[in-house]
Structure 1
Amino acid sequence: MTKNITLLILILIISSCSAQENFKDYYYQIGTKKEIKVYKYVDKNSPKNIEYWKVTTNPKTNKIMTESFTTDFRLYNIFEEELKTDGAQIIRYADFEVNDNGQNTRISGTIVDKDVYKWNDNNKYIYSVKYTSPKYGNEQFIKERTKSGFENITVSGTEYSTLKFKDEYEIKSLENDQNYEFYQFTYYAKGIGMVKYQRYHPNGTTIELELTEILTEKEFDELKEKASR
């Protein structure tokens, strides 16, 4: 009986470690050297809406930095996270808005809650950031995430094994009772990172951002240079 119990405990431990590793395998991967990849996403419902996510992974610091660009290559967000033993935590956040003079101004955020992606957690977790918007004053951005399960999906003609999440967002004014809420389903593909999200706004607008290709830094710079001519 004792041997059977010991064997059962070992099986449970191995299964738990395997599940934890499987969750992590669906997130952005850090290799043996510093790498830069640029993910190109296109809105399925509005193909002219394109986003570029420049993802820099650094094994020396165990950090991932994502710089997000609009269709016309304007930087609109910087998001840096550090990989911990139980998941990825946000360590730096900044938005960029165009001011009245046409300049891209930085709005740095103060981290309140840190959990971005957990390796093995079926419960809801959260990250949030406080910042001061030149247009709207003091605000807090809140994102709650819950794992939905594994799902095979086809994106831009390619089939992926994905881990699906439901993400609930709230932008809360800290100066009055106004807030804005929306939600999305986010899909991470094994060994790649995010390949799709379906975002639902309260006015009925739906954005389906899908991965179409992964560019090198050089290819991305060439696109920016061509667009600036």
Structure 2
Amino acid sequence: MIVSNYRILLFLLLISCSKEIDSRSFYYNPTNFKPSKTYKYQSVTDSLKVEYWVISNTDKNEITTIRKNEVGKQIDKMKEDISIDGSKLKSYSILLVGDDWTKATKLFLNKKNLFTWNLNEVAIYDGQILFNSVYWNVSRKRSFYKKMKIEFNGRIYETLVFKDIYDYNIVENQNYNKSKELDFFDFIQYSYFSQGIGIIRYEREFENGKIDTMHLVEILLKKR
């Protein structure tokens, strides 16, 4: 009985702590991206692997993020709407996967759960994409994982870590071997949001055991 009561008390304490965190201040504030900023990310294991995220306040509370590789080729593009209630994905399209160019691959959303500022809620979106002439059902489940501190440019930032579970399933009646591209499909991502910055680091764990970690190294005030 004592152990049971202790667990209940600990659970209630965790909930209380989560409610006290102003999680909105860890996400992107649209007013900070007019004019746009470019976030430069670098791989932890391969210094030659670089990504540039051009983040802009494109319409009222809308944030547009264009992700580019080290030579400036666009990888993908995402639009989301930021409100007092949370962040909602409006659109997403893929232009480059690995070293292969594809036609613009758009995510057709079916369910768009709000990513709320309440850390106790789980946010889910799902939809369908057409990739290399094959239709896939895709979903992402995001939940709060932990709070920690991260150093960036000589300063320590409070950071919230979220666990994102991505799941891709081929639509029925299509002849395609999913195992050929395990480094693209089905992965877990840990997204690190630092207060006043947004994503400062992300780690992806793939089904084949591969781990890819990118961390923020510089914030540029000009588009790349």
How high is the TM-score relative to the length of structure 2?
Answer: 0.78
Asked if structure 2 preserves the Cα contact closer than 8 Å seen for 1:187 and 1:197, the reply is yes
Q: Does 1:132 align with 2:137?
A: no
After superposition, the CA RMSD in angstroms is 2.8
Question: What is the number of equivalent residue pairs in this alignment?
Answer: 199
Q: Does 1:37 align with 2:34?
A: no
Aligned pairs for 1:95-134 (under 5 A) are 95-97=94-96, 105-115=103-113, 117-133=115-131
For the pair shown, the structure with the greater C-alpha radius of gyration is 1
Offset of 1:155 from its aligned partner? 4.8
Gapped runs of 5+ residues in structure 1?
Answer: 1-14, 221-229
Match for 1:86: what amino acid?
D
Offset of 1:55 from its aligned partner? 0.4
Asked if structure 1 preserves the Cα contact closer than 8 Å seen for 2:147 and 2:161, the reply is yes
- Comparing 204-213 and 177-186, the one that deviates more: 177-186
% of aligned pairs identical? 26
Query: Residue 181 of structure 1 corresponds to which residue in structure 2?
Result: 186
Offset of 1:121 from its aligned partner? 3.4
Give secondary structure in 1 for the equivalent of 2:186: strand
Offset of 1:158 from its aligned partner? 4.5
State how far apart, in whole Å, the 1-side matches of 2:166 and 2:25 are.
25
Query: Residue 20 of structure 2 corresponds to which residue in structure 1?
Result: 19
Asked if structure 2 preserves the Cα contact closer than 8 Å seen for 1:88 and 1:115, the reply is no
Q: Does 1:210 align with 2:211?
A: no
State how far apart, in whole Å, the 1-side matches of 2:217 and 2:114 are.
24
Asked if structure 1 preserves the Cα contact closer than 8 Å seen for 2:163 and 2:189, the reply is yes
Cα deviations by residue, 1:185-214 (Å, 9 ceiling, x for unpaired)? 111010110000121112221111100001
Query: Residue 66 of structure 1 corresponds to which residue in structure 2?
Result: 65
Offset of 1:151 from its aligned partner? 0.7
How high is the TM-score relative to the length of structure 1?
Answer: 0.76
Match for 2:198: what amino acid?
G
Give secondary structure in 2 for the equivalent of 1:170: strand
Match for 2:26: what amino acid?
Y
1:196 to 197, 201, 207: 201
Match for 1:141: what amino acid?
V
State how far apart, in whole Å, the 2-side matches of 1:216 and 1:120 are.
31
Give secondary structure in 2 for the equivalent of 1:217: coil
Offset of 1:92 from its aligned partner? 1.3
Asked if structure 2 preserves the Cα contact closer than 8 Å seen for 1:155 and 1:210, the reply is no
Give secondary structure in 1 for the equivalent of 2:91: strand
